[in-house]
Amino acid sequence: MIARALPWLTAATFAALIPWVAGLNGIAYAPFWLLAAAPGVLLGRSMAGRHAFGLVAGLAIGYTTSCLVVWALIATGWMSPRALSLALAAEVAALWLVSRSIARPVLDLPPWTPRDRAALAATLLLVPLLMAAPYRNLGAANADGTKHYRAYFTADFVWHAALTAELSRFEMPPRNPYMARESLHYYWTYFLVPAAVSSAGPPMARDVEAALKVNAIATATVLIAAFFLLAWSARGGAVPAALAVLLVVVAASAEGAIAIKDLLQRGAPLAALRDINVDAITAWKYNGLRIDGVHRTMFYTPQHGLSCALGLLALVPAALSGATGRLGAIAVSGLLLGLAATLNPFLGAAFSLIYGLAIFTDAVRIRASIAQVLRHSVAAVPPVVAVLWGTLNAMGDGAGDALTIGWAGHARHAPIVTLLMSLGPVLVPALAGLVPGRRLPTPPVIVAMCGLVVGLGLLYFVVLSDASWVGFRAGQILLAVLTIPLARVLATISDRSHAAMGRGLAAALVAGILALGAPTVVADTRNASDIANLSQGPGFPWTLTVTRGQQDALAWVKQHTPPTAIVQMDALARGRGHWSFIPTFAGRRMAAGLPISLLPRPEYQRMSGQVRTIFDSRDPAIAHQGARRMGIDYLWVDAVERRAYPKGAEILATSPGYFTPVFDNGEVRIYRVR
């Protein structure tokens, strides 16, 4: 009875979650996400029959393919509401024809039982459990209308809103909203669907923030489902798979427990956790590597989450069949890996490497023929095409110069201690699950071991100029593949000859891991929803605020300036707080900014210095000349600029021949550069 009710309970919970966190605008956008994702379900069902793998993979394939359809329309200059409708209809027709050509499922999947379905449904409840409170308070307004954005949404969500606004102009290549004269070098594929809807959809569905919230929830659901399916491929049973995912998602890191112990030893109140980046104690305490938990991928970086989900789904056939998989299954893995690479070339390449290593290792184990191994080259074609496509769109330009190979940077600082702090609660018990056994198949173990090798290799030996970025992505890989050995450990313990004793031991293990690891996620989730904390963090405010007066001025900019207008604030004075203020909340480009979510470049600092001379100038003619030279159309002045440049703000206010005031509500003044 409970098993039958769980899927319905989960569906009802998600139906209530969307309006709870995204309001009526979120309800209006949700059908468009479903419309974008649904075409892939046709293909997924043909690949896997009525198995959950077909539904989950189909949703991921459909959404990503729809993003590529939007790109094709923009790139060809055909983008319009009618063209988008026709293109999506053509996508449905194409995928339907492909699915019709598949006579029977190409994946050799074990039967999907009601017990499996119930376990997956229960696992998916992690999404509302973790995301409801933080997303409810994301952009929430208080009694006087001031909106609040908690760190670290200020590093990602606000950037995603700016990126979506940029893509909604339907220019290809898109421009860099923080240096308008240059094109944007970023993997922006994931954001094409919300960009299209925010520009060409009905009015209620055009709220960018609501669209991004719905997208994040839907993506987190697909990601957690992919985690479950990978753990389920270990063949230990539905309940061990669900428990493995639970532990990896909510109890992987001991950093919260360590922070609590430290506070208690110092006699400090636990309320001090509000001012601690709990999931980054390794960086704060040791200046070491950081591994973000799965919950942070769900909160902050859904574009990486969807790429990761596609990569994990590609590994499921390898875990089930190893080197002996059928050609159709190999093609499915290749398609998933290719789509993963369109969303994030780095993750797509990493998962492709794991797939190749796993197949090669299994081939050596079973002494497969060369012909059997060469068949898997089919899976390499889509990722190669995807990387070439990304290169064509200049997504990764500059990344090569920022890349360092070798044991360097944070990796040298307490490497073992930081790894155990970040992953110890699940890594240590999972090691026992890497030992091949007689009852459970070996290919899943090989996939997990190859994933650990690749993940640890990237973690310790690859560095970008953003020192934590590779660690975050490597951490996603490590956490995902650990579900396989964890599921095996739990299944092996539970299946002891004395069943009751085995279940008791498994329950004790789960409880111990939760006790050590759950404080990190509990505290971090609590902090992510704490918009009452207005104190200063380490170089940035814990909560970013946008006042009612600022919102009115931002709305004026949206309504009364051209979409391509350059509206300039002073980035140096705002620092890491309102670094994306104009691009995010006004949807306009700047001539110069300091984007913390893009690769750091000297030009950002240099050009922001030129902007400072405009705001700080004592000569209106020189300030005007500088603004014109930089292509600035409007200057934004509020309390930040007035406090940093009191004399310069006065010069702007008294020089209408150079800077014409076009908006003034007492809090914000906007000048048009004549």
Strand pairing of 634-637 and 567-568? parallel
- Residue 658 counted as domain residue: yes
Averaged pLDDT for residues 152-169: 94
User: What is the per-residue pLDDT for 402?
Assistant: 64
What is the Cα–Cα distance from 281 to 289, expressed in whole angstroms? Answer: 10
Instruction: Tell me the one-letter amino acid at 447.
Output: V
Residue 466 main-chain phi, psi, to 5 deg: -80, 100
Higher pLDDT, 6 or 209: 209
For tokens 């490590």, name the residue.
478
Q: What is the mean pLDDT of the chain?
A: 92
CATH (domain of 664)? 3.40.50
Nearest alpha carbon to residue 425 among 596, 269, 249: 249
pLDDT over 60 (residue 497): no
pLDDT over 90 (residue 231): yes
DSSP state of 270: G
User: What is the per-residue pLDDT for 181?
Assistant: 94
What is the Cα–Cα distance from 581 to 584, expressed in whole angstroms? Answer: 5
User: What is the per-residue pLDDT for 468?
Assistant: 72
**Positions of E strands within 385-524:** 404-405, 462-463
Confidence of residue 167 (pLDDT cuts 50, 70, 90): very high
User: What is the per-residue pLDDT for 100?
Assistant: 82
Q: Which domain holds residue 589?
A: 547-673
- Residue 614 counted as domain residue: yes
Confidence of residue 290 (pLDDT cuts 50, 70, 90): confident
Most confident of 123-132, 259-268, 459-468: 123-132
- Residue 602 counted as domain residue: yes
- Residue 538 counted as domain residue: no
267 exposed, middle or buried (CB, 10 Å; 0-12, 13-18, 19+)?
Answer: exposed
Q: Is the peptide bond prior to 173 cis by the omega test (within 30 degrees of 0)?
A: yes
Instruction: Tell me the one-letter amino acid at 66.
Output: S
Confidence of residue 282 (pLDDT cuts 50, 70, 90): confident
Averaged pLDDT for residues 93-103: 84
User: What is the per-residue pLDDT for 435?
Assistant: 85
pLDDT over 90 (residue 141): yes
The sign of the CA dihedral 625, 631, 637, 642 is: negative
For tokens 């019709």, name the residue.
100
Averaged pLDDT for residues 381-402: 84
For tokens 């004790």, name the residue.
508
CB 281 within 8 A of CB 258: yes
Strand pairing of 659-664 and 147-150? unpaired
For tokens 């940029």, name the residue.
166
- Residue 609 counted as domain residue: yes
Of the listed ranges 290-304, 457-471, 521-535, the one predicted with least confidence = 457-471
**How many folded domains does the chain comprise?**
1
User: What is the per-residue pLDDT for 400?
Assistant: 61
- Residue 663 counted as domain residue: yes
Those residues whose C-beta lies under 8 Å from the C-beta of residue 133, and which sit 6 or more positions away, are 525, 526, 528, 529
pLDDT over 80 (residue 565): yes
Q: What is the token pair recorded at 470?
A: 């590779």
Confidence of residue 200 (pLDDT cuts 50, 70, 90): confident
Q: Helices in 561-619 by DSSP H: which ranges?
A: 571-574, 581-585, 602-615
Q: What is the token pair recorded at 319?
A: 């875990």
Q: What is the pLDDT of residues 114-131, one digit of tens each?
A: 999 999 999 999 999 999
pLDDT over 90 (residue 240): yes
pLDDT over 90 (residue 360): yes
Averaged pLDDT for residues 485-514: 84
Model-wide pTM > 0.85: yes
Residue 181 main-chain phi, psi, to 5 deg: -75, -10
Of the listed ranges 6-10, 124-128, 342-346, the one predicted with least confidence = 6-10
- Residue 504 counted as domain residue: no
CB 154 within 8 A of CB 139: no
Strand, helix or coil for residue 661: strand
Averaged pLDDT for residues 585-603: 93
- Residue 169 counted as domain residue: no
Of the listed ranges 313-317, 356-360, 434-438, the one predicted with least confidence = 434-438
